[in-house]
A = this chain, B = another copy of it.
């Protein structure tokens, strides 16, 4: 039950709001002419000029005469975000590997770091120490000053303070990683579930651009889901991510999952199941699995060899589509390497199985455009949300 404030909106608020909207537009859509900014934001050209001048003074954008002139008359100046002017630190913690990047406004990756986790240890204190030890030199090397950090974790994360309730495949429980990192890095730290951030990245910069209702499926050792509904990340009770699809039970007579249930979707289509389906040892490295999948794709082979895996993938996705009604399902991580024929087969099956999909004339199933960078870029976008809102 909200009410409009009886006092009119103050000019300062309007200016701040418009400045943030303009910056966000440049960040997401890239360089734009003043004329297209005016059209897209519904503001007049003198307002745009004043806003752009202000942003240019603060070094956040620069203006150039466009290389290609369209039509007669004075060309509209091209406004470009300046990547170095607002930089965030993005961190992607996975079961087997951690990745790190400094990302500038506009989404450009300015520099990267990373290390393997499984081969050493996934003790949370060691992961924390390694993050801090890697970030310092990377920041110094690039000579930038990040204004916030975003962190992706494969687990249940409390958004307010980055408290990790449970990251089962890392064996983490109740780890206040957000508090540790914000103290050590001296930055605002924003943390989220990995699949939720994968969905965010694909929505803003990947295959899901232009789709307002989508589900992203992460697929490593664990399988997870992230949901964008009506253009925003869908959160459930307590602000937690929705889409814990990996522990959806699809085969009650199936293998026991560490969570206590039998036949969770993760046990049927996760990394180990996919390795088994390919005739590999279930602890095979990701590289070996991807290599086998690429061979299958190159041979143009039908998905027959992976028939059972394909059936479980389609069955679980059918459930996801029935429950969440997306326009698009994005298959991430390992699934990015699935043979196109297999993905098409799954898409057809999902459409046949879902009542809503039939009504909608078909949910699309596509592989990730950002691949292994999806969660890293999603973590950056999470950090940018507040940075851009503050203009």
Contacts and interface: CB of A to CB of B under 8 A. Distances in A.
A359 B4 contact: no
Contacts of A238: 327, 359-360
B14 A156 contact: no
Contact of A166 (B8, B322, B358): B358
Interface string A313-339: 001001110111111000000000000
A166 B323 contact: no
Interface in A236-286: 236-238, 240-245, 247-253, 259-261
A40 interface: yes
Interface residues of A, number: 69
A172 to B, nearest CB: 12
A230 B235 contact: yes
Given A244-B356, A325-B237, A358-B166, A8 B6 contact: no
Given A260-B352, A324-B242, A356-B156, A250 B250 contact: yes
A363 interface: yes
Interface string A152-167: 0000101000000110
A249 B85 CA distance: 50
A17 B4 CA distance: 7
A18 interface: yes
Given A166-B358, A230-B235, A360-B237, A248 B322 contact: yes
Contact of A319 (B6, B240, B319, B352): B319
Contacts of A245: 322-323
Question: How many copies of the polypeptide does the oligomer hold?
Answer: 2
Contact of A354 (B47, B230, B244, B353): B244
Nearest to A47: B6
B318 A249 contact: yes
Interface string A1-37: 1111010110001100110010011000000000000
Contacts of A359: 156, 158, 165-166, 238, 240
A373 interface: no
A76 interface: no
Contact of A252 (B8, B47, B250, B355): B250
A354 B242 contact: no
Contacts of A297: none
A41 interface: yes
A360 B240 contact: yes
Nearest to A42: B3
A194 interface: no
B225 A323 contact: yes
A372 interface: no
Contacts of A327: 236-238
A234 to B, nearest CB: 6
A225 B323 CA distance: 8
A347 interface: no
Given A9-B9, A237-B363, A250-B250, A323 B242 contact: yes
Given A9-B9, A166-B358, A213-B236, A242 B325 contact: yes
A132 interface: no
Contacts of A213: 236-237
A229 interface: yes
11 contacts: A1-B40, A2-B21, A3-B43, A8-B8, A168-B355, A225-B323, A229-B234, A236-B326, A237-B363, A247-B322, A251-B252
Interface of A: 1-4, 6, 8-9, 13-14, 17-18, 21, 24-25, 40-43, 47, 156, 158, 165-166, 168, 212-213, 225, 229-230, 234-238, 240-245, 247-253, 259-261, 315, 318-320, 322-327, 352-356, 358-360, 363
